[in-house]
Amino acid sequence: MIRNLILIASVLAAFGASAAAEQERPKLRAQATVTGEIVRVGDLVDHAGIIAKVPIFRAPDLGATGSVSADAVVEAVRAYALIGLDTGDLSEVEVTRASRAIPAKEVEDRIAKALSTQYRLGPAKDIVVNFDRELHALQLEATAKGEPRVAHLNFDARNGRFDVTLDVPTSATTRGTLRLSGRAAATVEVVTVTRPVERGEILKIDDVQVERRPRDETGRDIVGHADRAIGFAARQSLQPGRPLRVGDLMRPELVLRNETVTLIYEVPGITLTVRGKATEGGAVGDMISVLNEQSKRTVQGVIAGPGRVIVGSGSPRLAANLPPAQTADNADAH
């Protein structure tokens, strides 16, 4: 009995030792992330032992991912007597160099803020910055601390050209510089139409869009908000791409020229109405001329709504033109 227990224990010990050896066998990784310029054996191989820190390849650029073939790894470690490297069924290893990314938009915002402060170009949010070369995210070492700073800035207001030197963190303890150039301009929001619009057409939400244009190319009478255009009518033909001006719009005409309207004369306690013909069109609140069809005389009134024109108490001519029999009892005679 004791002999059997000893035998079983020996078998289990041998199996455990075999499993441990298998577990610690050098094995190629499918993916690796490195934080420096050099790829070391231990970055690509698990259980690399004493040669784990030996450099064998150059790392990809900051933030980039590359690949190295399994055969190349085997060849690279051969000189260091790494025995029994298990490559599994891998044909290559994917290697990524860790980085800290500074978005291009953040760089633009910092330059715009500096332009706003140093050259009084207005709010930074209204300054558009365009670089001579397309700017991608800045890739810094993963250990880099701090934020980019504008160290030096030149701006020519005559042509909008700028050049800037940025102080940029490069590692946990060092900083470097980056020079950029381009154009910048203070802008304003303008409203344009999305399609040709004929005179008198009422603008709907799909007919307008808001764009940014250089402030120097616009005037003070520019329509800058969509809600100041939607619901208004075109005073003249409008074309896409041209900023809308206040004078391009008018309130929608509720009364058209030669349209039959109801003339309303109001005094305290009495309202008199009579038919008339508008001799001109207009919107709510506009003063227009209307021909009284009974008296054949023209009166002035204010448009109150579709087909309705109010003659004020200061214009009693309408009452005088009514037939003598007109009273409060038949005030609605036409």
Domains of the chain: 2-97 (2.60.480), 102-185 (no CATH), 188-250 (3.90.1210.10), 260-321 (2.30.30.760)
**DSSP strand pairing (92-97 vs 31-34):** parallel
- How far is C-alpha 67 from the geometric centre of its chain's CA atoms? 36
Separation CA 298–CA 289 (nearest Å): 6
Q: What is the pLDDT of residues 209-253, one digit of tens each?
A: 999 999 888 888 999 999 999 999 998 999 999 999 999 998 888
* CA nearest to 185, candidates 206, 216, 228, 220: 216
DSSP state of 316: T
Q: CB burial class (10 A; 0-12, 13-18, 19+) of residue 56?
A: buried
What are the structure tokens assigned to 330, written together? 């038949």
Q: Predicted confidence band at 18 (pLDDT cuts at 50, 70, 90)? A: very low
Q: For tokens 């305290």, what's the residue?
A: 268
Q: What is the pTM of this model?
A: 0.62
8-state DSSP, 50: G
On the question of pLDDT at 157 being above 50, the answer is yes
**Average pLDDT over every residue of 169-183:** 92
Of the pLDDT bands very low, low, confident and very high (cuts 50, 70, 90), residue 1 is low
Segment 80-91 mean pLDDT? 88
pLDDT at position 255, please? 86
Residue 269 makes CB contacts below 8 A (sequence gap 6+) with: 328
SS3 track for 13-47: HHHHHHHHHHHCCCEECCEEEECCCEEEHHHHEEC
Tokens of 257: 């020229």
- CB-based contacts of 201, cutoff 8 Å, min separation 6: 233, 234
Instruction: Provide, rounded to the nearest whole percent, the portion of the chain with pLDDT above 90.
Output: 60
